[in-house]
């Protein structure tokens, strides 16, 4: 699919695009850097797409141009295919990403992830642990919720019948209010906000944001909970360098940094004043963490 000019202008030069078959679905992937370089995979979450990583990609290339940067679009988002809402489970997303990596990056890699990209990436690597060489995580969940957790208003809205469909599918929520989760609300405005809305501009394309929001546990009996436990085990057990770069002004996941840092006391921790989509606000901090982890990794 050809991207409109206002999006092309924002993406770093030298991009390579391909779409890979993963079972019945198709995953779109953007790639930068030498094909023979050490591989870094950057996974976004809900409701964004690979466009989210563009500033980080540019900043990494400026610091370490030898890295191969692979940026997939999570199934249901970006330029990837649109399965039925019922297909959106953490197990399926882990399988789709894992099969993509088996095709495009079958060797060792560093995983970089944010939001749902964290659990999806960790779930994919749970069956490919020997290939994991490093982790850079930002504003994501790394495991099941604590017994005392309370769902956020956003996730409570996602569970409401009829109302949630009207909000997410009819009105395109939360695409119009992404800036509200930011430390600097000007960071997602104008053409940038429009670029996030573009892949989900039609009613028929909007199943994933609601389905992914409903994947977030609203109780300890939620079907995602055991899958998140698998993710946490990968995060805790991986004998690789880890960096946690966080936006503490994130109203959804800002405080999760404390739990993640306790689980990995060996991790390098960088707290910033960014919000949820920290790639827009602190790309340099993320890029430096990626370069540092890639340099520490045993390839």
> How large is the average pLDDT for residues 139-166?
90
pTM equals 0.97
Write out the E strands in 115-203.
132-138
Task: Round the average pLDDT of the chain to a whole number and report it.
Answer: 97
pLDDT of amino acid 191: 97
- Specify the range with the lowest mean pLDDT, choosing from 40-49, 167-176, 286-295: 167-176
The model's confidence at residue 1, banded by pLDDT at 50, 70 and 90, is low
Burial 108-127 (b: 16+ CB within 10 A, else e): bbbbbbbbbbbbbbbbbbbe
Q: Length of the chain, please? A: 299
What does the DSSP assignment read for 37-102?
SPEEEEE--TT--GGGGHHHHHHHHHH-TT-EEEEEPPTTSTTS----GGG--HHHHHHHHHHHHH
Q: Which of 213, 292, 229 is nearest to 263 (CA)?
A: 229
189-219: per-residue pLDDT in tens? 999 999 999 999 999 999 999 999 999 999 9
The model's confidence at residue 256, banded by pLDDT at 50, 70 and 90, is very high
Q: How far is CA 31 from CA 5, 34, 57, 86, in A?
A: 19, 9, 10, 29
Domains of the chain listed by start with CATH number: 5-296 (3.40.50.1820)
pLDDT of amino acid 133: 98
SS3 state of residue 13 = coil
Task: Please state at what angle helix 256-263 crosses helix 224-237, rounded to 10 degrees.
Answer: 50
SS3 state of residue 282 = coil
pLDDT of amino acid 97: 98
14-51: per-residue pLDDT in tens? 999 999 999 999 999 999 999 999 999 999 999 999 99
Q: Which of 272, 285, 49 is nearest to 178 (CA)?
A: 49
């Amino acid at each position: 699919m050809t991207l409109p000019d206002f999006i092309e202008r924002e993406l770093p030069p030298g991009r390579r695009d391909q779409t890979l078959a993963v079972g019945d679905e198709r995953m779109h992937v953007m790639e930068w850097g030498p094909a023979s370089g050490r591989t870094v995979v950057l996974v976004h979450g809900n409701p964004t797409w690979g466009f989210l990583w563009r500033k980080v990609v540019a900043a990494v290339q400026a610091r370490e141009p030898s890295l191969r940067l692979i940026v997939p679009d999570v199934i249901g988002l970006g330029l990837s295919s649109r399965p039925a809402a019922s297909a959106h489970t953490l197990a399926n997303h882990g399988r789709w990403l894992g099969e993509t990596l088996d095709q495009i990056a079958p060797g060792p890699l560093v995983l970089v992830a944010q939001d749902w990209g964290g659990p999806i990436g960790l779930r994919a690597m749970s069956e490919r642990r020997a290939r994991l060489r490093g982790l850079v995580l930002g504003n994501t969940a790394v495991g099941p919720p604590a017994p005392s957790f309370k769902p956020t208003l956003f996730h409570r809205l996602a569970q409401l019948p009829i109302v949630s469909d009207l909000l997410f599918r009819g009105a395109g929520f939360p695409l119009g209010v992404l800036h509200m989760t930011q430390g600097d609300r000007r960071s997602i405005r104008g053409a940038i906000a429009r670029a996030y809305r573009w892949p989900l501009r039609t009613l028929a394309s909007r199943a994933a944001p609601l389905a992914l929001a409903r994947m977030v546990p609203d109780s300890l009996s939620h079907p995602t909970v055991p899958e998140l436990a698998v993710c946490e085990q990968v995060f805790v057990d991986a004998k690789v360098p880890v960096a946690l770069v966080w936006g503490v002004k994130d109203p959804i996941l800002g405080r999760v940094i404390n739990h993640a840092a306790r689980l990995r006391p060996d991790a390098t921790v960088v707290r910033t004043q960014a919000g949820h989509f920290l790639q827009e606000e602190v790309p340099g901090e993320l890029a430096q963490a990626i370069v540092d982890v890639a340099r520490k990794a045993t390839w």
